[in-house]
């Protein structure tokens, strides 16, 4: 009988990390970290960690001795990263470097979660072989994190993910949560249509990581995205329609500036390589919404 692998989820108390830890606990021995707010989950052991603390990181890695490390620390909010560059860089770049270096002596598989802002957004449908030339500061941080991990460990995977669809946690509400809470109170949601993404289910990402954690795949970049490509504004419209909210509550920011083609960016990802290598199934937006409905408390609608 094979020994159950030990997996460490760095950033396991956040939106993405919570979903990953829940999925991995089904077949692995799972440890997860939090930064400042203690949390708990059945089947997962949570431990405190400031990722930039090199000494503490090394001690944690030695004591747990994980075969796999999943690095998903930090917020995936590009606006937050732009507004807090030093803190964001510590988490997404230098923190990843610290953990990768600390794990190298154990030859742990290091799975680093990146995103689609590693590209310039000029054409979309990006493949793993396309050159990463980030326009956003957030994308530059993620490219730096990818490079640090690649140079400090001999067993790595970088997953560039599109924006993720799923329920958040109390301290870390997801994009979906923020839209739903406003619409549920009859508050308007104002979102731009200047960026296009291939939104995807966070549960699909968690499943992809579970497959990778138990596979021999290593030293490669993989993309994860959905099959439907649309803007944040169009996404919120579709969400309102699917969940029975008034669509007219979703609007675009008012501007007096003329719309120009150069103002629009397409960060959609092509995930055919991951589908072929891991035998996963990317979802249409409607399928992601159906999955989300099963996780949500039914909304009482007025007659």
Confidence class for position 259, pLDDT limits 50, 70, 90: low
Comparing CA positions, the residue from 281, 273, 264 lying closest to residue 124 is 264
Q: Mean pLDDT over residues 105-120, rounded? A: 96
- At residue 265 the predicted structure's pLDDT band, cuts being 50, 70 and 90, is very high
Using the predicted structure, report yes or no on whether residue 302 has a pLDDT greater than 60: no
pLDDT at res. 105: 87
CA distance 147 to 94: 11
Each domain of the chain, given as residue ranges in start order, spans 6-165+200-225
Mean pLDDT of 166-171: 88
Distance CA 191, CA 168 (A): 19
Say what the pLDDT of residue 262 is.
55
Cα 232 to Cα 134, 235, 248, 263, 295, distances in angstroms: 20, 5, 15, 15, 22
Please give the pLDDT value at position 303: 28
pLDDT per residue as tens digits for the range 184-217: 999 999 999 999 999 999 999 999 999 999 999 9
DSSP code string of 130-177: S-----SHHHHHHHHHHHHHHHH-SSEEEEEE--EES--BTTB--HHH
Task: State mean pLDDT over 111-127.
Answer: 97
Nearest to 283 by CA among 205, 178, 193, 220: 205
pLDDT beyond 60 at 299: no
CA 168 from chain centre, in angstroms, equals 12
Q: Please tell me the CATH code under which domain 6-165+200-225 is placed.
A: 3.40.50.720
pLDDT of amino acid 2: 60
Residue 157 CA neighbour count, 13 Å, CB half: 26
Q: What pLDDT, in 10s, does the model give residues 19-70?
A: 999 999 999 999 999 988 888 999 999 999 999 888 999 999 999 999 999 9
pLDDT, position 268? 97
The overall average pLDDT reported for the chain is 91
Distance CA 294, CA 290 (A): 7
pLDDT value at 258 more than 80: no
Dihedral sign from CA coordinates of 226, 81, 66, 44 = negative
Angstrom distance (rounded) from CA 297 to CA 171: 19
pLDDT the model gives residue 1: 44
Question: How confident is the model at residue 257, as a pLDDT?
Answer: 52
Between CA 74 and CA 101 the distance in angstroms is 19
Model confidence at 78, in pLDDT bands (50, 70, 90)?
confident
Q: What percent of the chain has pLDDT over 90?
A: 78
Compare 8 and 77 and report the one with higher pLDDT.
8
Mean pLDDT of 176-183: 95
């Amino acid at each position: 009988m094979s020994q159950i692998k030990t997996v460490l989820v760095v950033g396991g108390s956040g939106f993405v990390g919570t979903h990953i830890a829940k999925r991995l606990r089904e077949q692995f021995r799972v440890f997860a970290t939090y930064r400042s707010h203690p949390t708990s989950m059945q089947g997962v052991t949570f431990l405190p960690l400031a990722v930039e603390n090199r000494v503490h990181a090394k001690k944690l890695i030695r004591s747990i001795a994980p075969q796999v490390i999943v690095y998903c620390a930090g917020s995936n909010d590009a606006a937050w990263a732009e507004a807090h560059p030093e803190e964001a860089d510590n988490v997404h770049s230098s923190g990843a470097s610290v953990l990768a270096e600390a794990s190298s002596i154990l030859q742990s598989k290091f799975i680093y979660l990146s995103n689609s802002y590693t590209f310039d957004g000029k054409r979309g449908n990006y493949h793993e072989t396309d050159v990463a030339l980030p326009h956003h500061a957030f994308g530059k941080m993620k490219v730096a994190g990818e490079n640090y991990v690649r140079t400090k460990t001999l067993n790595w995977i970088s997953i560039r993910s599109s924006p993720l669809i799923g329920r958040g946690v109390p301290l870390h509400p997801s994009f979906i949560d923020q839209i739903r809470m406003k619409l549920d109170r009859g508050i308007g949601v104002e979102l731009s249509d200047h960026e296009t993404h291939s939104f995807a289910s966070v549960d699909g990402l968690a499943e992809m990581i579970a497959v990778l954690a138990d596979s021999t795949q290593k030293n490669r970049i993989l993309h994860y995205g959905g099959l439907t490509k649309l803007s944040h504004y169009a996404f919120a419209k579709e969400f309102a329609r699917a969940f029975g909210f008034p669509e007219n509550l979703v609007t675009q920011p008012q501007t007096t500036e003329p719309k120009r083609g150069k103002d629009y960016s397409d960060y959609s990802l092509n995930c055919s390589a991951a589908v072929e290598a891991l035998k996963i199934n990317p979802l249409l937006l409607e399928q992601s919404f159906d999955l989300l409905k099963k996780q949500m408390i039914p909304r009482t609608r007025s007659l």
